Amino acid sequence: MTELKNDRYIRALLNKEVDKTPVWMMRQAGRYLPEYKATRAQAGDFMSLCRNADLACEVTLQPLRRFDLDAAILFSDILTIPDAMGLGLYFSEGEGPRFERPISCKKDVDNLIMPDPEGELQYVMNAVRTIRRDLKGEVPLIGFSGSPWTLATYMVEGSGSKFFTKIKKMAFAEPQTLHLLLDKLADSVIAYLNAQIAAGAQSVMVFDTWGGILSPRDYKDFSLQYMHKIVDGLTRHYDGQKIPVTLFTKNGGQWIEQIADTGCDAIGLDWTIDIKEAKARVGSRVALQGNMDPSMLYASPERIRQEVATILEGFGTGNGHVFNLGHGIHLDVPPENAKVFVDAVHELSAPYHR
């Protein structure tokens, strides 16, 4: 067991007292940092960067050298599981991820392999082990996965989508096929996240990027029930420590009570819900992570600080708040603005924890 020098993030997720509100940023390791661009160029391409444990560790640690962050997050991609299932992931310049062999019928689902986290996905576990070693207990390491629904959208559409017609066609015309796929994905995510925990992840997060495109009834049917299955299947204690679980559904503010019912420790909020309202609705049942609009980082330092102050005031006194952006940091945000954001959270939050 490694003693954490800064355990604010873990304590906040578990609704324990902290001296300041902890802060990290989704996609904090990425294209807005010049040092990341240099390391990616060294790797050759994105997936080569993900598969090289030393380089994945390097980009994970880069933002911690610039900013006073309270957590590191594994550098990887949510599509590692579908890639390991044999769909042939590749990245087109300017077009994002694509699959050579998308899912179109039940036979395709039946033929999917269930990846071994220490086999086809061992490169991810090697990255986790390397990052944990090099963090030396400075801050906790977050592991993550995409949600079954979000992974399925890419696997069926074959790429990102604006209208999600293929996945919704499957949902409504062949629901049994989609449920079979989602169930396989949930089992794979459980194995994948538990392996990350065994390799050294001290908290895990499930990103449901596309849950918000569903109706309330369909969200529960095709997304939430499978995240609930994941929460039930995760290793919640490891090496003498509680392993907090955070669920994040983009545009999912209308469902936070149901998300809390899964038994997760924290809910990630995007910027479309007021954090004061969210806290009033779920109370202290779960911690809340969020929720500044990432585009606010284009603003002046004074405006960024003002927005941080407003969100802190909205949450108010008490435990259970991890400050974050409502989604990933944009690639053209000036790094100095990200520093203003992080420093403002620590400076302005202290009075709320006396």
Query: Which member of 8, 32, 70, 77 is catalytic?
Result: 77
- Residue 303 designated active-site: no
- 29 assigned binding-site residue: yes
Q: Which of 257, 233, 48, 52 is nearest to 145 (CA)?
A: 233
Q: Which two tokens stand for residue 135?
A: 């963090």
Neighbours of 114 (CB within 10 A): 13
- 27 assigned binding-site residue: yes
- 198 assigned binding-site residue: no
Q: Which two tokens stand for residue 108?
A: 């395709």
Q: Which two tokens stand for residue 32?
A: 């807005």
Q: Which two tokens stand for residue 283?
A: 């109370």
- 31 assigned binding-site residue: yes
- Residue 154 designated active-site: yes
- 8 assigned binding-site residue: no
Query: Which member of 9, 36, 154, 192 is catalytic?
Result: 154
- Asked whether 57 and 51 are in contact (CB, 8 A), the reply is no
Query: Which member of 40, 66, 236, 303 is catalytic?
Result: 40
- 314 assigned binding-site residue: no
- 165 assigned binding-site residue: no
- Residue 51 designated active-site: no
Distances (CA, A) of 111 to 116, 154, 159, 176: 15, 17, 20, 16
Query: Which member of 31, 101, 236, 285 is catalytic?
Result: 31
Helices 275-282 and 301-315, axial angle in degrees (round to 10): 20
- Residue 31 designated active-site: yes
Q: Which of 203, 212, 146 is nearest to 322 (CA)?
A: 203
Query: Which member of 8, 11, 27, 98 is catalytic?
Result: 27
Q: Which residues are annotated binding-site positions for substrate?
A: 27-31, 77, 154, 209, 327
Catalytic residues: 27, 31, 40, 77, 154
